[in-house]
Amino acid sequence: MPVANGACRSTRTYLKTGTAASHDRLDTRLGALVTGDARDYAAFLDIQYRARVGVEDWLADSGTPPPCQSNLLAQDMSALGRAVPEDAPAFAPPAPSDALGVCWVLAGSSLGNRAILARLRKNKVDWPVDFLSDMGMTTYWRSLLPALERPHSIATDEAALHAAQATFSHFNAIVADSLAREAA
C-alpha cells in the first residue's frame, strides 16, 4: 500500500508510515515475550533467529549488508540450553525491492533491542544478551541515516517500501508460526 508522495518529507518517514501497522503488530507480539520468563525469552530469540537467517542470506549480495546477528542469537540460545533452529524460512521480497528497506527494518530494530536490554537490566534479569547488547547494528543504523534522511521520492522509495513491508511480513509470519507451535 503506497503512501501518498506529499505525506512524507524523507525516505525514513515514508518507510515508517508505510509499515506502521505491521511494525506495531510485531513489536506487540515480540514485546510480550521479553516481559515473561526465560522460556518466553528463549522463544523471542528463536523467532529472531529463524527470521534473521533468511533475511541475512538475502542481504548477503546487497552490497552493504548490515552486520550478521544470527550468530549472536545462536550464542544466546546455546547459553540458555536451547538448540539453534534448523528451520529458518527463506526470505524473498517481491520485485521490485530495494535492500535499503530491509536494512532499515533490521537496523531500526537495534533501537528496540537497546530498550529491551535496559528493561532486563533494570529488572536484574540474568539472561544471555549478546544479541540485545550488540553495538554493530547501532553503528550500522547511523551509516544508513544519510540515505534515510534524503528527500522522499516515490520513484526511488517505493521499492524500499516493498522490501520493508516484506520484511515485517516475514517476521510476523514466523511469530505466527511460533505461536501456533506453542499452542499445539
Confidence of residue 7 (pLDDT cuts 50, 70, 90): low
Q: Average of pLDDT values for 18-26?
A: 96
76: nearest Cα among 108, 112, 115, 34: 34
Q: Please state, in angstroms and rounded to a whole number, the distance separating the CA atoms of residues 18 and 150.
A: 16
Question: Per residue in 136-159, pLDDT tens?
Answer: 999 999 999 999 999 999 998 999
pLDDT at res. 3 = 46
Question: Per residue in 45-88, pLDDT tens?
Answer: 999 999 999 999 999 977 778 999 999 999 999 999 999 999 99
Q: Which residues, including other chains, have CB under 8 Å from residue 100's CB and lie 6 or more apart?
A: 11, 144, 147, 148, 160, 163
Confidence of residue 5 (pLDDT cuts 50, 70, 90): very low
Between residues 70 and 181, the one the model is more confident about? 70
